[in-house]
Amino acid sequence: MSENVAKNMRNLIKLFEERTNLAETEREAINVLVSHNQSRECEEGSELEQLSAFQNPANLEALIERLERVTSRLESLPVLHPSPASPAPATPLQKPVPQLVVVDTMSVNGYTDIVQGPLQSYLQLSKQIGGEVATHADLVNDAFKAQLNFIQLAASRSKPSQSEEMQLLSPTSNKISAIQQFREKNRASPFFNHLSAISESIPALGWVAVSPTPAPYVKEMNDAGQFYTNRVLKDWKEKDKTHVEWCRAWVQLLSDLQAYVKQYHTTGLVWSGKGSDAGAPPPPPGGLPPPPPMPEADFANMSVDDRSALFAEINKGEAITSSLRKVTSDMQTHKNPQLRQGPAPFKAPASNAPAKALPTPGAGNLDKPPVFARDGKKWLIEYQKGNSNLVVENADMNNVVYMFRCRDSALTVRGKINGVVLDSCTKCAVVFDNLVSSVEFVNCQSVQMQVLGKVPTISIDKTDGCQIYLSPESLDVEIVSSKSSEMNVLLPKSNGDYTEMPIPEQFKTVVNKPPTGLTTSPVENKG
């Protein structure tokens, strides 16, 4: 009996010590009783000697009564029973902490949804295609995971210095470089367009270093990759639908990334600052009040182009003058000089007054950021300054290159496309192989062009200074010019040199005899 009682007491004490903090005096009292019982068990003797420690029923009942009180206290405090592996319960002072990171948690969860959703669809389709596409997809997966780690880091700390931030971004940038290098090493692959689509658009992950509007940057990179996804669709649309789904999955992945950036990081990557609500954008600076609302116009009663009343008046014939007032003799100023004494008539300004200067072609604002992008069938090249390495290649025959407000730049167009337009450009040059329709110069100054193949038409409008270098295949070109000056055509010779010939700027017009029309002829420059 004593062995069972002692054993139960040891188990109870062990359980109490593991699950609660007993009062030190109570624990020492129980340990003394147990030690006394254990020492008696080790001695040789009869069963009556082993029971001598508990021969007093009052002591045993008192001990059991104390144990029952302790057990009742434990049962009345269930919240004080955390498991050893669980974290410590939050105290009232720790409750505001989760509220500070709730926005950052939503940001991290939003990116996690992209990794677990659209990214997984792209990875599964890449594995179905196999080959270099599957290997390339593994690198893309690593890049997205590296960016997820970076976003989690940003959600847990304040913004670092610029040098430290570049160091934290190095894992993501290294993955992007590996993706692009893989494409360069596999140019002979039958999936080269697949690899190029990813390599051209994967820089979208660099949005974390773009401010104040990173979302449009993601869209721009997505559009750059769609040039090659269109090629994949063209080559595989009738062969294997898996490649079509693969293109859609990749475009959708970057579209979801753009929506995520626009929602959680509208003006740039949000860092969790200390002592402020994480993720909350800074308050807008004080500025001018919003403009007053525009007055509402009654568009329902506006006439788009009502000329019926005008034609009705014209069709009256001689009756159209019936409503005019007759000028009597007392209204005639030559008979009544006193009518001339009135307010002074309007006088034109003096001829020596400085006139307002006309706008100079191509002299627009060049402070805007340069643009080199493809928008559907149009290649947009805008606000380039001092860039002589502009190259458009792998363009389709129905594409058009539009160059706007560029200065001191040179453009090379490789392949056969529909047309080229230079608008408001200054000191620029364009070289192209073949055009389906025409090359146009509008509002330009000091521009040059050279055709290596064939061009049907050259249009020059409001341009001062245009040098045109033709090829032997383009001698049948038609040149249309208006409001332009200093235009020269250079014709190729057999020895590789050119013969320069000016395009007339002055014209002489005479009336035909009998007077049935006009005849216009160019005036040669004798100087």
Span of 131-145, 233-247, 328-342, 403-417 with lowest mean pLDDT: 328-342
Span of 133-142, 196-205, 326-335, 412-421 with lowest mean pLDDT: 326-335
* Tokens, residue 490: 């250079």
Query: What total number of domains does the chain contain?
Result: 3
Is 458 a residue whose pLDDT tops 90?
A: yes
Per-residue pLDDT reduced to its tens digit, 274-315: 433 333 444 444 444 454 454 444 444 444 444 556 666 666
Is 492 a residue whose pLDDT tops 70?
A: yes
Q: What is the 3-state secondary structure (H, E, C) of 177-202?
A: HHHHHHHHHCCCCCCHHHHHHHHHHH
Residue with tokens 């990813």, as numbered in its chain: 198
β pairing state of 485-492 and 498-502: antiparallel
Is 487 a residue whose pLDDT tops 70?
A: yes
What pLDDT, on the 0 to 100 scale, is given for residue 276? 37
Higher pLDDT, 478 or 70: 478
Per-residue pLDDT reduced to its tens digit, 52-95: 444 555 566 677 777 777 666 655 554 433 444 444 444 444 43
DSSP H/E element including 375: strand 371-375
Residues 229 and 111 in one domain: yes
Is 480 a residue whose pLDDT tops 70?
A: yes
- Cite the DSSP H helix spans in 43-189: 47-50, 57-76, 96-100, 102-116, 118-129, 131-154, 162-185
Residues 119 and 194 in one domain: yes
**Angle at which helices 102-116 and 131-154 cross, to 10°:** 180
* Tally of CB atoms within 10 A around 207: 23
Distance (Å, whole) CA 83 – CA 449:
80
Residue with tokens 């434990």, as numbered in its chain: 74
Per-residue pLDDT reduced to its tens digit, 162-203: 888 888 899 999 999 999 999 999 988 999 999 999 999 999
What pLDDT, on the 0 to 100 scale, is given for residue 479? 93
Residue at 123 is within a domain: yes
What pLDDT, on the 0 to 100 scale, is given for residue 462? 93
Residue at 107 is within a domain: yes
Phi, psi of 70 (to 5 degrees): -65, -40
Residues 11 and 61 in one domain: yes
Residue at 169 is within a domain: yes
Is 98 a residue whose pLDDT tops 60?
A: no
Give this prediction's pTM. Answer: 0.38
* Tokens, residue 419: 């047309």
Residue at 76 is within a domain: yes
Residues 446 and 515 in one domain: yes
Whether 374 and 223 have beta carbons less than 8 Å apart is answered as yes
Residues 61 and 112 in one domain: no
Percentage of residues of the chain with pLDDT beyond 90: 38
Please give the average per-residue pLDDT across 38-63, as a whole number: 52
Is 316 a residue whose pLDDT tops 60?
A: yes
Domain boundary among 46, 80, 114: 80
What pLDDT, on the 0 to 100 scale, is given for residue 64? 72
Residues 242 and 382 in one domain: no
Please give the average per-residue pLDDT across 451-479, as a whole number: 93
**CB < 8 Å & 24+ apart, contacts of 144-147:** 144/114, 144/115, 144/119, 144/205, 145/115, 146/171, 146/172, 146/175, 147/111, 147/172, 147/205, 147/208
Residue with tokens 């200074």, as numbered in its chain: 465
Domain that holds residue 505: 371-520
Closest CA to 60 of 5, 11, 19, 136: 5
* Tokens, residue 136: 């390339």
Residues 63 and 120 in one domain: no
Residue at 278 is within a domain: no
Percentage of residues of the chain with pLDDT beyond 70: 66
Residues 383 and 450 in one domain: yes
Instruction: Give me the CATH number covering residue 195.
Output: 1.25.40.330
β pairing state of 485-492 and 464-469: parallel
Distance (Å, whole) CA 2 – CA 42:
13
Is 527 a residue whose pLDDT tops 60?
A: no
Most confident of 32-41, 302-311, 400-409: 400-409
Residue at 196 is within a domain: yes
Residues 107 and 52 in one domain: no
